[in-house]
Amino acid sequence: MDIIDLSVAAKTSENYLGFLDQVCDRLELDFASYATTSPMTGAVQGYANYPDRWKMHYMQRNLHRVDPTIHKSALSIAPVDWSRFERDEKFKAVFFAAGDFGISPQGLTVPIRGPYGDRGLLSVTRTCSREEWDKLKRRVIGELQVAAVHLHDAVMRSDVISQALRQPKLSRREREILQWAAAGKSQTDIGDILGISHRTVEVHLRSAREKMGALSTVQAVGRAIGLGLIYPR
């Protein structure tokens, strides 16, 4: 996969911004931004590939304090389409000048929740017709969810204490399935061997991949061997 792998890349804002650029390129989006509030300090950490002029405008006016895409989306478990905020006074305050900066008020925010009560938000925008937007959303929403959690986990692991806390915890089933994958078995084979449905294999494999911050099964197998969770063969 050509996307920056944040689980191995240096934890730098250049890499986070590069990741946002790639998400936009791959998923046909104009702009992307990510924000999180530290559960410990309350400090806001954010990255965005918006034009600098818009970032200046947004920061000088402290628009993050009223921006409903930030304050409301975190209350949802599902991605929130900004059309839900269209009639909102605060939304108008943030976005009324956005057009002058080439920013579309057409977007959505993916809320991310981590195991320690940490929360993050990945927002994306795209200028196009309503119909195109609805089609695009349906096509990319699953990938956006995975990208959002990958980015959030990387940001959360960026200090030493969090890294120690966040060693991936795989279940016996996940290790067993990775072990068979390491032996070159397909998902279908593994399901037959373990007497479980292929979709059960798939869901465990996906969970194992994401817990390890891996973008592919091959990579997850490599990492699991590296961590001593499974054996090379």
The residues that touch other proteins, with contacts defined as CB under 8 A, are: 72, 74-80, 84, 112-115, 117, 119, 138, 141-146, 148-150, 169-174, 196-197, 199-200, 203-204, 206-207, 210-211
Specify the residue, 157 or 211, whose C-beta has the smaller distance to other proteins. 211
CA atoms within 13 A on the CB side of 115: 9
Specify the residue, 89 or 100, whose C-beta has the smaller distance to other proteins. 89
| CB of 68 vs other proteins, minimal distance in Å | 10
Specify the residue, 141 or 183, whose C-beta has the smaller distance to other proteins. 141
Specify the residue, 189 or 210, whose C-beta has the smaller distance to other proteins. 210
| CB of 117 vs other proteins, minimal distance in Å | 7
Task: Express the helix, strand and coil content of the chain in percent, nearest 5 each.
Answer: 55, 10, 35
For 124, phi then psi, to 5°, come to -135, 150
Specify the residue, 45 or 145, whose C-beta has the smaller distance to other proteins. 145
Neighbours of 221 (CB within 10 A): 24
| CB of 174 vs other proteins, minimal distance in Å | 7
| CB of 199 vs other proteins, minimal distance in Å | 5
Q: Report the distance separating Cα 10 and Cα 30, nearest Å.
A: 25
| CB of 139 vs other proteins, minimal distance in Å | 10
Q: Report the sign of the C-alpha dihedral through residues 170, 172, 176, 179, in that order.
A: positive
| CB of 123 vs other proteins, minimal distance in Å | 15
DSSP output for 142-176: HHHHHHHHHHHHHHHTTSHHHHHHT-----HHHHH
Copy the structure tokens of residue 133.
Answer: 């937007």
CA atoms within 13 A on the CB side of 167: 7
Specify the residue, 55 or 162, whose C-beta has the smaller distance to other proteins. 162
